[in-house]
Structure 1
Amino acid sequence: MWATKLLNLNLKTAQKRREMALHKLEEIRLDAYESSKVYKERTKAFHDKKITPKTFTAGDQVLIFNSIVKLFPGKLKSRWSGPFHIKEVLPYGSITLLDLEGREFTVNGQRVKPYMADNNIPRDTSDHLGDPDNA
Protein backbone atom coordinates (compact mmCIF):
# COMPACT_ATOMS: atom_id res chain seq x y z
CA MET A 1 0.00 0.00 0.00
CA TRP A 2 2.74 2.41 0.83
CA ALA A 3 4.27 1.95 -2.66
CA THR A 4 0.95 2.87 -4.29
CA LYS A 5 0.66 5.96 -2.13
CA LEU A 6 4.30 6.86 -2.75
CA LEU A 7 3.98 6.68 -6.55
CA ASN A 8 0.52 8.26 -6.43
CA LEU A 9 -1.02 5.47 -8.54
CA ASN A 10 -4.73 5.93 -8.77
CA LEU A 11 -6.35 3.10 -10.70
CA LYS A 12 -9.38 5.11 -11.82
CA THR A 13 -7.36 7.93 -13.41
CA ALA A 14 -4.96 5.44 -15.02
CA GLN A 15 -7.96 3.56 -16.45
CA LYS A 16 -9.48 6.78 -17.85
CA ARG A 17 -6.14 7.78 -19.39
CA ARG A 18 -5.81 4.36 -21.02
CA GLU A 19 -9.36 4.53 -22.41
CA MET A 20 -8.71 7.98 -23.88
CA ALA A 21 -5.49 6.75 -25.49
CA LEU A 22 -7.34 3.77 -27.04
CA HIS A 23 -10.10 6.05 -28.37
CA LYS A 24 -7.52 8.40 -29.92
CA LEU A 25 -5.78 5.42 -31.50
CA GLU A 26 -9.10 4.21 -32.94
CA GLU A 27 -9.79 7.70 -34.38
CA ILE A 28 -6.34 7.82 -35.98
CA ARG A 29 -6.91 4.38 -37.51
CA LEU A 30 -10.30 5.41 -38.92
CA ASP A 31 -8.84 8.64 -40.36
CA ALA A 32 -6.04 6.66 -42.04
CA TYR A 33 -8.59 4.22 -43.47
CA GLU A 34 -10.71 7.09 -44.83
CA SER A 35 -7.75 8.91 -46.41
CA SER A 36 -6.60 5.63 -47.99
CA LYS A 37 -10.07 5.12 -49.42
CA VAL A 38 -10.11 8.66 -50.88
CA TYR A 39 -6.61 8.15 -52.35
CA LYS A 40 -7.67 4.91 -54.04
CA GLU A 41 -10.80 6.51 -55.49
CA ARG A 42 -8.85 9.47 -56.90
CA THR A 43 -6.15 7.19 -58.36
CA LYS A 44 -8.79 4.98 -59.99
CA ALA A 45 -10.60 8.01 -61.44
CA PHE A 46 -7.32 9.36 -62.86
CA HIS A 47 -6.48 5.95 -64.37
CA ASP A 48 -9.95 5.45 -65.83
CA LYS A 49 -9.85 8.93 -67.39
CA LYS A 50 -6.67 8.00 -69.30
CA ILE A 51 -8.10 4.77 -70.76
CA THR A 52 -9.33 5.06 -74.32
CA PRO A 53 -12.00 2.49 -75.11
CA LYS A 54 -11.39 0.24 -78.10
CA THR A 55 -14.37 -1.16 -79.93
CA PHE A 56 -13.78 -3.59 -82.74
CA THR A 57 -16.20 -5.21 -85.17
CA ALA A 58 -15.86 -8.10 -87.56
CA GLY A 59 -14.14 -7.03 -90.78
CA ASP A 60 -11.97 -4.29 -89.25
CA GLN A 61 -8.23 -4.27 -89.85
CA VAL A 62 -5.91 -4.22 -86.84
CA LEU A 63 -2.23 -4.38 -85.93
CA ILE A 64 -0.85 -6.71 -83.21
CA PHE A 65 1.74 -5.66 -80.65
CA ASN A 66 4.71 -8.03 -80.84
CA SER A 67 6.25 -8.36 -77.36
CA ILE A 68 9.09 -10.61 -78.60
CA VAL A 69 10.74 -7.55 -80.18
CA LYS A 70 11.49 -6.33 -76.65
CA LEU A 71 13.79 -9.32 -76.16
CA PHE A 72 15.76 -8.54 -79.33
CA PRO A 73 15.67 -4.75 -79.50
CA GLY A 74 16.32 -2.93 -82.72
CA LYS A 75 16.37 0.80 -82.90
CA LEU A 76 14.11 1.08 -85.93
CA LYS A 77 12.18 -2.18 -85.67
CA SER A 78 8.44 -1.80 -85.44
CA ARG A 79 6.80 -3.54 -82.52
CA TRP A 80 3.53 -3.79 -84.43
CA SER A 81 2.83 -6.44 -87.07
CA GLY A 82 -0.06 -6.75 -89.44
CA PRO A 83 -2.54 -5.80 -90.77
CA PHE A 84 -4.94 -8.58 -89.83
CA HIS A 85 -8.68 -8.85 -90.40
CA ILE A 86 -11.01 -9.41 -87.46
CA LYS A 87 -13.13 -12.51 -87.93
CA GLU A 88 -14.97 -12.44 -84.62
CA VAL A 89 -14.98 -10.45 -81.38
CA LEU A 90 -15.28 -12.91 -78.49
CA PRO A 91 -16.51 -12.11 -74.99
CA TYR A 92 -14.14 -10.82 -72.30
CA GLY A 93 -11.91 -8.98 -74.77
CA SER A 94 -10.45 -11.75 -76.91
CA ILE A 95 -10.46 -11.40 -80.70
CA THR A 96 -10.22 -13.99 -83.48
CA LEU A 97 -8.08 -12.72 -86.36
CA LEU A 98 -7.34 -13.82 -89.92
CA ASP A 99 -3.93 -13.28 -91.50
CA LEU A 100 -3.37 -12.71 -95.23
CA GLU A 101 -3.20 -16.45 -95.96
CA GLY A 102 -6.53 -17.09 -94.21
CA ARG A 103 -5.19 -18.72 -91.04
CA GLU A 104 -7.11 -17.77 -87.93
CA PHE A 105 -5.85 -17.30 -84.39
CA THR A 106 -7.11 -15.73 -81.18
CA VAL A 107 -5.37 -12.90 -79.29
CA ASN A 108 -6.06 -10.73 -76.30
CA GLY A 109 -7.88 -7.54 -77.27
CA GLN A 110 -5.37 -5.41 -75.38
CA ARG A 111 -2.62 -6.40 -77.85
CA VAL A 112 -4.37 -4.93 -80.90
CA LYS A 113 -4.95 -1.44 -82.21
CA PRO A 114 -6.91 -0.24 -85.26
CA TYR A 115 -5.09 -0.13 -88.58
CA MET A 116 -5.72 3.31 -90.08
CA ALA A 117 -4.19 2.95 -93.58
CA ASP A 118 -5.97 3.00 -96.90
CA ASN A 119 -7.83 -0.29 -97.35
CA ASN A 120 -7.33 -0.35 -101.14
CA ILE A 121 -3.55 -0.77 -100.98
CA PRO A 122 -2.42 -4.40 -100.52
CA ARG A 123 0.36 -4.75 -97.98
CA ASP A 124 2.87 -7.57 -97.52
CA THR A 125 3.88 -8.20 -93.90
CA SER A 126 7.17 -9.84 -94.81
CA ASP A 127 8.83 -6.61 -96.03
CA HIS A 128 11.30 -5.20 -93.52
CA LEU A 129 13.12 -2.00 -94.33
CA GLY A 130 16.58 -1.14 -93.17
CA ASP A 131 17.89 -4.61 -92.29
CA PRO A 132 21.61 -4.34 -93.27
CA ASP A 133 22.35 -8.01 -92.55
CA ASN A 134 20.13 -9.24 -95.41
CA ALA A 135 21.30 -6.69 -98.00
Structure 2
Amino acid sequence: MRRLNMDWNAAGRNRLMQLNELDEFRNEAYEKAKIYKERTKRWHDKNLSRKEFQPGQQVLLFNSRSKLFPGKLKSRWSGPYTEVTVFPYGSLELKNRNNETFKVNCQRVKPYLGDPIDQAKSIILLKPL
Protein backbone atom coordinates (compact mmCIF):
# COMPACT_ATOMS: atom_id res chain seq x y z
CA MET A 1 0.00 0.00 0.00
CA ARG A 2 2.87 2.38 0.84
CA ARG A 3 4.45 1.91 -2.61
CA LEU A 4 1.24 2.70 -4.43
CA ASN A 5 0.80 6.06 -2.62
CA MET A 6 4.43 7.23 -3.00
CA ASP A 7 5.10 9.73 -5.77
CA TRP A 8 8.74 9.29 -6.82
CA ASN A 9 8.85 12.44 -8.95
CA ALA A 10 7.57 14.65 -6.12
CA ALA A 11 10.01 13.05 -3.67
CA GLY A 12 12.90 13.67 -6.13
CA ARG A 13 11.91 17.34 -6.60
CA ASN A 14 11.63 17.79 -2.82
CA ARG A 15 15.09 16.27 -2.31
CA LEU A 16 16.62 18.58 -4.97
CA MET A 17 15.04 21.60 -3.27
CA GLN A 18 16.54 20.53 0.07
CA LEU A 19 20.00 20.14 -1.50
CA ASN A 20 19.75 23.58 -3.15
CA GLU A 21 18.73 25.13 0.17
CA LEU A 22 21.70 23.45 1.83
CA ASP A 23 24.05 24.94 -0.80
CA GLU A 24 22.51 28.38 -0.24
CA PHE A 25 23.01 28.10 3.52
CA ARG A 26 26.63 27.05 3.00
CA ASN A 27 27.33 29.94 0.60
CA GLU A 28 25.67 32.42 2.96
CA ALA A 29 27.76 31.17 5.91
CA TYR A 30 30.91 31.43 3.78
CA GLU A 31 30.11 35.03 2.81
CA LYS A 32 29.37 36.02 6.42
CA ALA A 33 32.64 34.46 7.62
CA LYS A 34 34.52 36.33 4.89
CA ILE A 35 32.93 39.66 5.91
CA TYR A 36 33.72 38.97 9.58
CA LYS A 37 37.38 38.23 8.79
CA GLU A 38 37.69 41.41 6.71
CA ARG A 39 36.22 43.54 9.53
CA THR A 40 38.47 41.90 12.13
CA LYS A 41 41.55 42.44 9.95
CA ARG A 42 40.61 46.10 9.39
CA TRP A 43 40.18 46.63 13.15
CA HIS A 44 43.47 44.88 13.92
CA ASP A 45 45.40 46.86 11.29
CA LYS A 46 43.88 50.13 12.53
CA ASN A 47 45.07 49.48 16.11
CA LEU A 48 48.50 48.26 15.05
CA SER A 49 51.30 50.75 15.63
CA ARG A 50 54.04 50.87 13.05
CA LYS A 51 57.58 51.09 14.37
CA GLU A 52 60.22 52.82 12.29
CA PHE A 53 63.85 52.12 13.13
CA GLN A 54 67.03 53.64 11.75
CA PRO A 55 70.57 52.26 11.98
CA GLY A 56 72.43 53.60 14.99
CA GLN A 57 69.28 53.99 17.09
CA GLN A 58 69.22 52.45 20.57
CA VAL A 59 66.46 49.95 21.40
CA LEU A 60 65.34 47.70 24.24
CA LEU A 61 64.83 43.97 23.62
CA PHE A 62 61.91 42.02 25.12
CA ASN A 63 63.09 38.88 26.92
CA SER A 64 60.28 36.34 26.65
CA ARG A 65 62.32 33.70 28.53
CA SER A 66 62.30 35.67 31.77
CA LYS A 67 59.07 33.85 32.64
CA LEU A 68 61.25 30.97 33.79
CA PHE A 69 62.73 33.02 36.61
CA PRO A 70 60.54 34.06 39.53
CA GLY A 71 59.91 37.70 40.32
CA LYS A 72 56.87 39.71 39.43
CA LEU A 73 58.71 43.01 39.52
CA LYS A 74 61.59 41.96 37.30
CA SER A 75 61.69 43.87 34.04
CA ARG A 76 61.42 41.80 30.89
CA TRP A 77 63.19 44.42 28.77
CA SER A 78 66.96 44.24 28.42
CA GLY A 79 69.40 46.56 26.76
CA PRO A 80 69.95 49.09 25.38
CA TYR A 81 71.24 47.64 22.13
CA THR A 82 72.40 49.55 19.07
CA GLU A 83 70.88 48.85 15.67
CA VAL A 84 73.29 47.91 12.93
CA THR A 85 71.01 47.04 10.02
CA VAL A 86 67.27 47.23 9.30
CA PHE A 87 66.18 44.37 7.06
CA PRO A 88 62.92 44.25 5.09
CA TYR A 89 59.90 42.39 6.48
CA GLY A 90 60.51 43.41 10.09
CA SER A 91 63.86 42.05 11.19
CA LEU A 92 66.74 43.94 12.76
CA GLU A 93 70.41 43.28 13.38
CA LEU A 94 71.44 44.49 16.84
CA LYS A 95 74.82 44.99 18.47
CA ASN A 96 75.36 44.58 22.23
CA ARG A 97 78.03 46.19 24.44
CA ASN A 98 80.59 43.52 23.49
CA ASN A 99 80.12 44.34 19.75
CA GLU A 100 78.43 40.98 19.13
CA THR A 101 75.66 41.14 16.51
CA PHE A 102 72.45 39.11 16.30
CA LYS A 103 69.15 39.23 14.43
CA VAL A 104 65.75 39.72 16.08
CA ASN A 105 62.17 40.27 15.05
CA CYS A 106 61.07 43.90 14.98
CA GLN A 107 58.07 43.10 17.22
CA ARG A 108 60.41 42.23 20.12
CA VAL A 109 62.07 45.67 20.31
CA LYS A 110 61.00 49.17 21.25
CA PRO A 111 62.88 52.47 21.03
CA TYR A 112 65.05 53.35 24.01
CA LEU A 113 64.56 56.95 25.12
CA GLY A 114 66.57 57.17 28.36
CA ASP A 115 70.12 57.28 29.63
CA PRO A 116 72.29 54.16 29.77
CA ILE A 117 71.15 51.75 32.48
CA ASP A 118 73.63 51.10 35.29
CA GLN A 119 73.06 47.42 36.13
CA ALA A 120 74.67 47.72 39.60
CA LYS A 121 72.25 50.45 40.66
CA SER A 122 69.15 48.84 39.15
CA ILE A 123 69.26 45.81 41.50
CA ILE A 124 67.33 46.43 44.71
CA LEU A 125 67.41 43.74 47.39
CA LEU A 126 64.20 43.50 49.40
CA LYS A 127 65.66 41.12 52.02
CA PRO A 128 68.65 42.01 54.16
CA LEU A 129 71.72 39.87 53.56
- Please indicate the TM-score interval, normalised by the length of the shorter structure: 0.7 to 0.9
> TM-score if structure 1 supplies the norm length?
0.84
The equivalences for 1:76-115 within 5 A come to: 76-115=73-112
Structure 1 portions without partners, runs of 5+: none
The reply to whether residue 10 of structure 1 matches residue 4 of structure 2 is no
Structure 2 portions without partners, runs of 5+: none
- Residue aligning to 1:123: 117
> TM-score if structure 2 supplies the norm length?
0.88
SS of match in other structure, 1:52 = coil
RMSD: 2.0
Larger radius of gyration: 1
SS of match in other structure, 1:92 = coil
Q: Tell me if structure 2 keeps the 8 A contact 1:82–1:125.
A: no
Q: Tell me if structure 2 keeps the 8 A contact 1:66–1:79.
A: yes
Task: Give the C-alpha shift of residue 76 in structure 1.
Answer: 1.3
Task: Give the C-alpha shift of residue 129 in structure 1.
Answer: 2.3
Q: Which of the residues 34, 59, 65 maps onto 1:68? A: 65
SS of match in other structure, 2:92 = strand
Task: Give the C-alpha shift of residue 100 in structure 1.
Answer: 2.2
